[in-house]
Structure 1
């Protein structure tokens, strides 16, 4: 199917009071458009920034030859949680007659690990750091009360540890879950790991990312931002949803 006949891709960002967050998301979506010329790519925020998701969905106007109201919501969220399970389905259901599918969250996925490693390297991580007995990594995530969200973060931490050569990687959270980032740093220090890096498991800059970075005794990576691997992953989630929407996948798993 030619890109201009495909459903609209609506990237769903959380929203932030940090001005750089919106700029970062817009840069990421420009990368997506470069990878898939002709695909109609739009943006909606859950809160705090314009355009809000409800407004984006209310204004759906298909690209030429696209099916009326057809869209795929691709959350720029890194794991399962309330927004994925409740906010997005409710927003989609509020648009009567539209064919709106919901893609899986971005994580966990090897492309996220690729981006995390790249950001750590930008911050000063060297290939030999993964073999040092004094080195550790805290994977700093936003946090959620949903246990599946924490499970996704731990899965990413395990993949990152393997990618970095076996260095200990501890998932930690800026809110709503434990351990906190400072607590994870202390736990690694107690294990003799004094060169501790913080890998920023955030899609864009914001308060949580800044607080997490401030807790590191060594280096702190930048958020994932508009990394090319993130743009490729966003399109992969979009393509997957055209075959099996995330909500349907969840129903199948629940009934298995």
Structure 2
């Protein structure tokens, strides 16, 4: 691997203008923290460019540099999923995009203490109950990850989902009200704004935490994943 690999940041993608801007700002914050680092943002769904296209472009650039006698400066690449769990998009979409390239793929951003601490800071201290709201998935890795986050939150915590087969967030809020909870907070386990996040504000809770990407430490988390992958790859002799 070269001295200055490219960081390929792979987000899910959204139609929400606010959500798109937030993910772009996250990628820009990563680049500001590491001057000279080549950060490429791409997506697995909804938006362009797709991960496979960016991976192919980086490979083409490497080949061109090699052909021009610039092998010493050609970048390798590390793929960092801007996702909250090692679910389908990591195991299938991203894996297929990098197949045969030798580019390492890091662990996704979540679950991580950075997100847990962000949720804990933003949930009102007087909440009688918390609904941990996520997109929902039947993937076992996703389910395990969201349960780990729930276990780290204080007080009574119930799981609610914005999609999939699990209980809907609004239904969980209503049940908690019926059971006597006076102040219900939604801890939004969502990286950026979008359709799912907007529905949380109509779920009947007293407070909704902001998208996780607003926490300044998330950019450092991305770089931490990137650096760890480089150390692991170099240590393995690849």
TM-score interval for Structure 1 and Structure 2 normalised by the shorter chain? 0.7 to 0.9
**Unaligned runs of at least 5 residues, structure 2:** none
User: Deviations for 1:208-236, whole angstroms, at most 9, x for unmatched residues?
Assistant: 11112321321112211242121111111
Check conservation: 1:7, 1:67, Cα contact below 8 A. no
Q: What residue number does 1:53 align with?
A: 51
1:157 is matched with which residue: 140, 150, 154?
Answer: 150
TM-superposition CA deviations, 1:168-206 (whole Å, max 9, x none): 222321111412212322343344222111111111110
Look up the match of 1:185.
173
Unaligned 5+ segments in structure 1 are 249-256
Helix, strand or coil: the match of 1:102?
A: coil
Residues 78-105 of structure 1 show CA distances to partners (whole Å, capped at 9, x for unaligned) of 1121111111111101xx5x33111111
TM-score (norm 2): 0.85
Partners of 1:153 and 1:23 in 2: how far apart? 25
The 8 Å contact of residues 28 and 227 in structure 1, kept in 2 or not, is answered as no
Question: Which of these residues, 198, 205, 211, is aligned with residue 217 of structure 1?
Answer: 205
The within-5 A match list for 1:122-201 is 125=124, 128-129=125-126, 135-159=128-152, 161=153, 166-201=154-189
Partner of 1:44, secondary structure, is: strand
Answer yes or no: is the 8 Å Cα contact 2:3–2:75 preserved in 1: no
Following TM superposition, by how much is the alpha carbon of 1:47 offset from its aligned partner in structure 2, in angstroms?
Answer: 1.5
Q: How many residues align?
A: 226
**Alpha-carbon deviations, 1:49-94, whole Å to 9, x = none?**
122212211111359877746211111111121111111111101x
User: What is the TM-score when the length of structure 1 is the normalising length?
Assistant: 0.79
- Whether 1:101 aligns to 2:94 is no
Q: Is the 8 A contact 1:77 1:203 kept in 2?
A: yes
